[in-house]
Structure 1
Amino acid sequence: MPTNATPQVPVTVRMFTQRLSSTPRGARLARHLVAHRLDAWGYPYASEANETVTLIAAELAANAVRHGRVPGRDFRIRLFEAGDRTVRVEVTDQRGERLPVVADVTADGEGGRGLLLVAALAERWGVERGSGGSGGAGRGPAKTVWAEVAVGSG
């Protein structure tokens, strides 16, 4: 090994993946599974880290069901905990042509606040287009909406 080589540090410490039905029940289950997984990783249910990541995951899952649903196709939720104590939430749905936008929200409007909440709580968030094939939530075009949250120590 050359003396100037930098040792490789693993990026992902922990990972969780689950496919769920593109229904309101699937979105609720995603929220519960994320909270449970974070608790198992050392971020207790009532902690700020658990509540923040769970809220973001719930919003992204609800959006996948509401705006990204393709009948008969699941959505996928993934959690990664990185070595720098960042948790990344990814939600993949099958509507690659419908990209999320942060809406201009009026005070008496009925919706559109979800991504504003995600943007306010996450260090970073974004969207990646891709195929729903082997790594996605099914077949055909897909998109993954992700958010990263600094969680401190678990």
Structure 2
Amino acid sequence: MRLTVGEHSVRHIRRIVRSLLDEWELLELCDAAELGVSELITNVVRHVPDRRCTVLMLRVAAGMRVEVSDGVPELPVMAAELSMDAEGARGLVLLDAVADKWGAERVSEGGKRVWFECWKR
């Protein structure tokens, strides 16, 4: 999905995540996936001037993957470098706690992609 997000977009995207996970019979991943996508979209709202992003949700063998790409090349600080005392980036600490794996990389178009995976148990 190519989107321009606003403060109320998170609620709608969470519904889409829940719907896809229901279709994929992966509702046990819903809490973690909804929290993860909420944090990534909130970061777009806060840190991307035009608030444009692409959201990709994939069914993978282990569970599901969410990718959020935007046009800002600065990568987020990785969770190992964060603390709950940090002024910002608490959402990434939460993402690190609920996702099985996550990361960020620059993309050839000049922006970045932040992604996470949640796996079935």
State the partner residue of 2:72: 95
**3-state DSSP class of the match of 1:114?**
helix
Asked which structure has the greater CA Rg, the reply is 1
- Equivalent residue for 1:24, pick from 7, 10, 15: 7
Paired with 2:120 and 2:35, the residues of 1 have a C-alpha distance of: 14
- Aligned AA (2:65): R
Q: Percent identity?
A: 36
Q: TM-score, normalised by structure 2?
A: 0.83
**3-state DSSP class of the match of 1:131?**
coil
- Aligned AA (2:84): V
Paired with 1:62 and 1:29, the residues of 2 have a C-alpha distance of: 12
Q: Which runs of 4+ in 1 moved over 6 A?
A: none
Unaligned runs of 5+ in 2: none
Cα pair 2:101 2:116 within 8 Å, conserved: yes
State the partner residue of 1:144: 113
Give the CA deviation at 1:80: 1.0
Unaligned runs of 5+ in 1: 1-17, 133-140
Structure of greater relative contact order (alpha carbons < 8 Å, 6+ residues apart):
2
CA RMSD of aligned residues (A): 2.0
Q: Structure 1 residue 70 and structure 2 residue 49: aligned?
A: yes
Cα pair 1:91 1:144 within 8 Å, conserved: yes
Q: Structure 1 residue 56 and structure 2 residue 25: aligned?
A: no
